[in-house]
Amino acid sequence: MTATPVSTPQETVRRGSGPRPRRRVSLEPYLYLLPHAALFFVFTVYPIGYGLYIAMHRWDLLSGRQPFVGLEFFRNLFIAGTPQADFFWRTLWNTTFFTLISVPLLVAAALGLALLLHRPIFGRAFFRAVFFMPGILTVSVMGILWRWMFDNQIGLVNAARELTGAPPIPWLSTEGLAWIPIIVGTIWWTLGFNMTLYLAALGNISQSFYEAAELDGATAGQQFRFITWPLLTPITLFVVITTALASFQLFGQSLVITNGGPNRSTQSVIQYITEEGFSNSQISSAAAMGFVFGLLMLVLTAAQFRLMARDVQSSGEEK
Amino acid sequence: MKHTALALSLSLLALGAASAQKVSLTYLHGFTGPDRPVMEGLVKKFNETHPNIEVRAQAQPWGTTWQQLPSLVASGRAPDVVVINEDQITGFIARGAVSPLAPAEMKAAGIDQTRFFGPLFKTADYRGQSYGLPVSSVAYAMFYNKDLMKKVGLDPNKPPRTRAEFLAAAQKCTVDKSGKNATQAGFDPKNLDTWGVSLYNNWVGSRAAYAAILQNGGELTDKNGNAAFNSPQAVSAVQFLVDLVQKQKVARPNSTEEAELAAFSQGKVCMFPSGQWYLDRFEQQKMNFGVTFMPRVGGSVRDAAWGGSSHLTLPRQKPGYDAAKRKAALEFMAWMTQPEQNLAWTATGSLPSQAAVAKNAQFEKAPINGIFDRLDSVYATSGVPWMGQVLGPFDAAWEAAYSGKKTVAKALGDGVTESNKQIEQARKNFQ
């Protein structure tokens, strides 16, 4: 009990009058951190605080007063019948639906392509480039392209259907079907990035594992199941989380391809927040939605990490 | 010697006085791209002819201005003159970002508001006061294919004006692959070769519905600023447009703007109501087309078409703002909206803002001349500070009605309900 390391007055005095260099040493790490810390405070902490201020006031720069409204704009999201509650949750579900469909496709297809293009096939570099290339397009170019592909009347997809005698399908104006151009377009657009990550990971797996497996008579399927897949788990965790977060940030694709229609069925939650903020000039309400959405993303990512980090650890032990 | 010295010092004094009086103005506008050199040329001309005023123009995208203007005004660093568009202006006025133009002030600067097309000038009015001068305007027009009209037996120089004429023309233009038109037995609407009119479901398409509602005596909002586009007049007007698709089969269902634009360019559709900004494109394609004012499809109360506009405004300044600056700014605004300058500005594809300009000989042979007799019936969507909350649900209602997802009455009714819920919230910002 007496040995509790509490600084005595004497100690403090000694520290104060102690040799100066010691003090400078203890300051040094903070000086190194300062540039980043400054940027972090200016561009992350301050905006978050300011955003909270906006969300809790009826905020308009022009009006002299910015009355405090507390959680009114947050509460709006949970009171049935307000436009915010209706559209926020509807568009959040739209975005979730998009994520649930697109993430498995984007991960599986990227892995499949990487496995194919990892092997020394003819024209490998060409195909890698072909699949990677769409990713360099901006979302507006990609969006207009797929909008035209799936246009109800002049689209290439319907033109192809007409050749076979099938009637054209109104992709862009049918609820449900309108997701197809968005999802197909997104996969085409972003697949190459995930594929490249998998290719890099595949290149890091030592050939000796496969040689040993072959000596033991393992089939290609068994090799994939017991060697490739477990060793790819860390990169899969990374790909799934980044792809899921990117999918939840759906904005440009549905904005350009369907403009959220028909009947808001493909409107993403970010598009709705933008609409509330800039087209309805309800900045505070939009800020509140931004916080709720951000919080949901945080919880989701944490949950994903927990679930999958266990896999990574156990696969590490198997090694 | 003495005299020269005296004259020199006197003239130096005069020069000093003149330069002391020289007023410098900042002018912020969103005319970027091909419009920019034309606007810059006009500003240069103003500076050359007005030695006492120097206008420094700055062009930046509209959206940036809408985001920056509130903080510029709040911090007292607003430019002296700003151009604001029709869909934003009432919101900025109601929030106090723009200062009113007093009648005496306008008179002193030589601004005669009766010179402008009435509805165009009133776009920047709010609660009985004027806040801006129209410097640029665009409008909905109806393009029509003269060759196709001749082919189906219509007079290509007499575009329809009434609902009956419009429907008859649309029916004759709608011909299926076996050569039968929409009025004949055995007509197959699923296999069209050509059709009467282009309708589609985005915001541009919904402006046809806006025109129809006005033509029938309806409005988007009532006098309290609440959404009112489900009045009997509005329902009946929009019903006629929806019937063109669902009952008369003279317009394609499930169409998109791109598809209708392509169809009109390829000579597949007779009448294409849309923004006058497509004029350039059809002229370049050497199509044989005409332009006319939107026929009275909604009803016969009045002529009406949608229009967009940009207005020169004076932002609210901090107390103690130099009165000479405000006077100079008004002089600049007056000069910029003179017929001569407006005529020069139409080179950008904008429409005349006043009758005197529309009568200019240079338009006599131009196709766009077809709408000049009714430019005073072009109405912008403005007048309430919460235009976004009205137009969003209105566009969605048009989409639901056009696509047949809801009946016209239900679609417009749902739209009004949603809009009014949002307006109720928006009102709190303006108390």
In chain A, the percentage of residues whose pLDDT exceeds 70 is 89
CB neighbours of residue A289 within 10 Å: 27
Q: Which member of B67, B91, B418 has the closest CB to residue A83?
A: B418
Q: Nearest-CA distance from A3 to chain B in Å? A: 59
pLDDT value at A112 more than 80: yes
- Spatial contact of B185 and B192, defined as CB atoms under 8 Å apart: no
Greater confidence (B205 vs A17) lies with: B205
CA distance B310 to B351: 11
B425 contacts in chain A (CB < 8 Å): 82-83, 282, 285
Strand pairing class (B23-29; B81-85): parallel
pLDDT value at A134 more than 80: yes
Q: Nearest-CA distance from A305 to chain B in Å? A: 38
For residue B143, what pLDDT is reported?
95
CA distance B34 to A94: 39
A62 contacts in chain B (CB < 8 Å): 70, 73-74, 95-97
- Minimal-distance CA residue of chain A relative to B402: A173
Question: Under CATH, what is the fold of the domain A89-318?
Answer: MetI-like fold (1.10.3720)
For residue A315, what pLDDT is reported?
55
3-state helix, strand, coil in chain A (%, to 5): 75, 0, 25
Contact B254 A152 (CB under 8 A): yes
The length of chain A is 319
- Give CA angle at A15 (A12, A18), nearest 5°: 150
Cβ partners under 8 Å of residue B239, min gap 6:
B408
CA distance B265 to B306: 23
C-alpha distances out from residue B51 to B37, B109, B356, Å: 22, 17, 28
Average pLDDT over residues B247-253: 92
The full set of domain ranges for chain A reads 89-318
Contact A148 B429 (CB under 8 A): no
CA distance A259 to A96: 17
The length of chain B is 431
- Minimal-distance CA residue of chain B relative to A279: B388
| Residue listed under structure tokens 């398409």 | B205
Span B42-83, pLDDT tens digits: 999 999 999 999 999 999 999 889 888 988 998 899 999 999
For residue A313, what pLDDT is reported?
61
Delineate the domains of chain B, giving CATH numbers in brackets.
Answer: 24-139+308-370 (3.40.190.10), 140-306+381-430 (3.40.190.10)
- Residue A248 phi/psi, 5-degree rounding, is -70, -20
Cβ partners under 8 Å of residue B54, min gap 6:
B22, B23, B24, B25, B47
For residue B20, what pLDDT is reported?
54
pLDDT value at A3 more than 50: no
Contact A61 B70 (CB under 8 A): yes
Greater confidence (B355 vs A121) lies with: B355
Span A142-188, pLDDT tens digits: 999 999 999 988 899 999 998 998 888 899 988 899 999 999 999 99
Strand pairing class (B305-313; B81-85): antiparallel
Greater confidence (B11 vs B155) lies with: B155
Contact B97 A148 (CB under 8 A): no
Give the DSSP letter string of A148-192: HHT-TTT-HHHHHHHHTTPPP--GGGSTTTTHHHHHHHHHHHHHH
- Spatial contact of B38 and B348, defined as CB atoms under 8 Å apart: yes
pLDDT value at B431 more than 90: no
Select from B66, B202, B258 the residue whose CB has the most chain A CBs within 10 Å, as the one to mutate to test that interface. B258
Residue B252: exposed, middle, or buried by beta-carbon count in 10 A (0-12, 13-18, 19+)? buried
For residue B380, what pLDDT is reported?
93
- Spatial contact of B162 and B152, defined as CB atoms under 8 Å apart: no
Dihedral of CA B104/B105/B110/B116: which sign? Answer: negative
For residue B46, what pLDDT is reported?
96
CB neighbours of residue A75 within 10 Å: 14
Cβ partners under 8 Å of residue A301, min gap 6:
A241, A244, A245
CA distance B322 to B168: 62
CA distance A224 to A283: 51
Q: Nearest-CA distance from B390 to chain A in Å? A: 9
- Spatial contact of B98 and B313, defined as CB atoms under 8 Å apart: yes
For residue A165, what pLDDT is reported?
86
C-alpha distances out from residue B420 to A83, B51, B224, Å: 10, 52, 11
Question: What single-letter DSSP state applies at residue B351?
Answer: P
Contact B252 A172 (CB under 8 A): no
For residue B270, what pLDDT is reported?
95
| Residue listed under structure tokens 């606007």 | B39
Alpha helices in B79-202 (DSSP H): 86-94, 103-108, 118-122, 146-151, 163-173
Alpha helices in A204-265 (DSSP H): 207-215, 220-223, 229-248, 252-257
- Spatial contact of B393 and B416, defined as CB atoms under 8 Å apart: yes
Residue A236: both structure tokens together = 């899969």
CA distance B217 to A240: 56
Average pLDDT over residues B113-136: 95
Nearest to B330 by CA among B65, B103, B73, B145: B103
| Residue listed under structure tokens 């969003």 | B392
Span A180-227, pLDDT tens digits: 999 999 999 999 999 999 999 999 888 888 889 989 888 888 888 888
Cβ partners under 8 Å of residue A135, min gap 6:
A189, A190, A191, A192, A193
pLDDT band at A7 (very low <50, low <70, confident <90, very high): very low
- Minimal-distance CA residue of chain A relative to B396: A263
In chain B, the percentage of residues whose pLDDT exceeds 70 is 95
CB half-sphere exposure, B170, CA atoms < 13 A = 28
Span A306-316, pLDDT tens digits: 877 766 665 55
Q: Which member of B74, B386, B418 has the closest CB to residue A62?
A: B74
For residue A88, what pLDDT is reported?
94
A303-317, B102-116, B374-388: least confident range? A303-317
- Residue B149 phi/psi, 5-degree rounding, is -65, -40
In chain A, the percentage of residues whose pLDDT exceeds 90 is 49
Greater confidence (B207 vs B182) lies with: B207
Contact B96 A62 (CB under 8 A): yes
For residue A13, what pLDDT is reported?
45
**How confident is the prediction for chain B on average, in pLDDT?**
91
Q: Report which residue type is found at A171.
A: W
Give the DSSP letter string of A191-211: HHHHHHHHHHHHHTS-HHHHH
- Spatial contact of A134 and A140, defined as CB atoms under 8 Å apart: no
Q: Which member of A81, A148, A173 has the closest CB to residue B201?
A: A173
Contact A282 B426 (CB under 8 A): yes
Contact A62 B399 (CB under 8 A): no
Span B291-303, pLDDT tens digits: 999 999 999 999 9
Respond yes or no on whether the N-terminal peptide bond of residue A262 is cis (omega within 30° of 0): yes
Residue A150: both structure tokens together = 């799936």
Strand pairing class (B269-275; B378-379): unpaired
For residue A237, what pLDDT is reported?
87
This model's pTM is above 0.90: no
| Residue listed under structure tokens 């600084």 | A7
pLDDT band at B407 (very low <50, low <70, confident <90, very high): very high
Contact A154 B259 (CB under 8 A): yes
- Spatial contact of A208 and A149, defined as CB atoms under 8 Å apart: no
Average pLDDT over residues B317-323: 92
Span A230-281, pLDDT tens digits: 899 889 988 998 899 999 999 999 999 998 878 889 999 999 999 998 888 8
A304-318, B57-71, B233-247, B276-290: least confident range? A304-318
For residue B212, what pLDDT is reported?
96
For residue A11, what pLDDT is reported?
45
